[in-house]
Amino acid sequence: MINDVKKLSAFIDCLNNEKKPVIRAGSEELDSLYDAVRQIKSLKSPVMPDHDFSDKIVENLNERKKKSTKSRRQALIGGIAGIAAILVIALLISNMIKNTGIVYAMEQTYSKVKAYHGILEVMFNNEAGETHIQSLLDVWVDKNNNYYIEVLEGSYKGLKTVRKEGKVWQSSIEKPVFPVFSETYEFIFELGNEIDRLKSAESIRIIGDDNIVGRNAYIMEVTPKGGLPYKLWVDKETKIPLKKQGEMSKAIQYITAYTNINFVDSIPAELIEIDPDAGFIEADFDTDHQADTIENDEPVRFTPEFKVEVDMDVEKADQLSADSGSSPWKLDPVYVAQVFVSLQISPEGIVGDYPVDYDDFVIAEKYENSVKIDVNSEKTNIKTVYLERLIRQDDTGIWTVTGYDVSK
Amino acid sequence: MNEDNMKYIAKICENTWEPLYRYVYYKVQNREEAEDITQETYVKSLSYSKFNEIEPDRYMAFFKTVAMNIIRDRWRKSKIMGTNANIDSIPEIEVSTDDMEDTANRQLFIKRSLSKLNEDQRKVIELRIINGYSVSETAKIMGIKAGNVRVLQYRALKNLVVIMNEKEDCHDQ
Classified as helix, coil or strand, A301 is: coil
Answer yes or no: is B102 within a domain: yes
Most confident range, picked from A312-321, A336-345, B10-19? A336-345
pLDDT in tens, A95-104: 343 444 678 8
**Same domain for B123 and B164?**
yes
Please state, in angstroms and rounded to a whole number, the distance separating the CA atoms of residues A121 and A133: 7
Q: What are the chain B neighbours of A207 within 8 Å (beta carbons)?
A: 57
Residues of A in contact with B158 (CB under 8 A): 29, 33
Is B48 inside any structural domain? Answer: yes
For residue B88, being part of any structural domain is answered with no
Pair (B5, B56) in one structural domain = yes
Question: Cβ of A269 under 8 Å from any chain B Cβ?
Answer: no
Question: Do B108 and B164 share a structural domain?
Answer: yes
Does B77 fall in a domain?
A: yes
Give 10-residue mean pLDDT values along chain B (173 residues): 68 83 90 92 82 73 88 71 44 43 79 93 94 90 92 95 81 54
Report chain B residues whose CB lies below 8 A from the CB of A224: none
User: Which CATH number goes with the domain that contains B38?
Assistant: 1.10.1740
Residues B27 and B71 reside in one and the same domain: yes
Residues B171 and B107 in one domain: yes
Residues B78, B124, single domain; the answer is: no
Q: How far is residue B76's CA from residue B63's CA, in Å, rounded to a whole number?
A: 20
Q: What are the chain B neighbours of A67 within 8 Å (beta carbons)?
A: none
pLDDT in tens, A142-188: 988 888 888 887 766 777 888 888 777 877 655 544 433 433 334 46
Identify the residue with better confidence: A223 or B129.
B129
* Reported pTM: 0.42
Q: How many CB atoms lie within 10 A of CB A382?
A: 22
When mean pLDDT is compared across A4-13, A75-84, A135-144, A275-284, the lowest value belongs to: A75-84
Percent residues over pLDDT 90 in chain A? 12
Domain count of the fold of chain B: 2
Residue range(s) defining the domain that contains residue B55: 1-83
With respect to residue B91, please indicate whether it lies within any of the assigned structural domains: no
Q: What's the confidence (pLDDT) of residue B94?
A: 37
Q: Is the pLDDT assigned to residue A213 strictly greater than 70?
A: yes
Angle between helices B146-172 and A2-16 (to 10 degrees): 90
Asked if A14 has any chain B CB less than 8 Å from its own CB, the reply is yes
Q: Is residue B89 domain-resident?
A: no
Q: Return the higher-pLDDT residue of A281 and B62.
A: B62
Classify residue B153: in a domain, yes or no: yes
Domain contains B117: yes
Question: Looking at chain A from residue 176 to 215, which residues have their Cβ under 8 Å from any Cβ of chain B?
Answer: 202-208
Say if residue B31 is in the same domain as residue B101: no
Is residue B58 located within the same domain as residue B125? Answer: no
Residue of B nearest to A97 (CA): B8
- Where residue B120 sits, what CATH number does that domain have? 1.10.10.10
Instruction: Work out the minimum CA distance from B66 to partner chain A, whole angstroms.
Output: 16
pLDDT at A24: 67
Greater confidence, A233 or A251? A233
Q: Over 80: is that where the pLDDT of A285 sits?
A: no
Q: Best residue in A3, A9, A70 to probe B by mutation, most B CBs within 10 Å?
A: A9
Among the candidates B49, B83, B117, a domain finishes at B83
The residue from B38, B59, B83 where one domain ends is B83
Residues B41 and B79 in one domain: yes
Boundary of a domain, candidates B83, B106, B134: B83
Same-domain status, B43 and B66: yes
Give all domains of chain A, ordered by start, each with its CATH number: 2-41 (no CATH), 53-100 (no CATH), 109-282 (2.50.20.30), 287-405 (no CATH)
* Average pLDDT, rounded, for chain A: 77
> A59-63 long-range contacts, Cβ below 8 Å, gap at least 24?
A60/B39, A60/B42, A60/B43, A61/B9, A61/B13, A61/B42, A61/B43, A61/B46, A62/B1, A62/B6
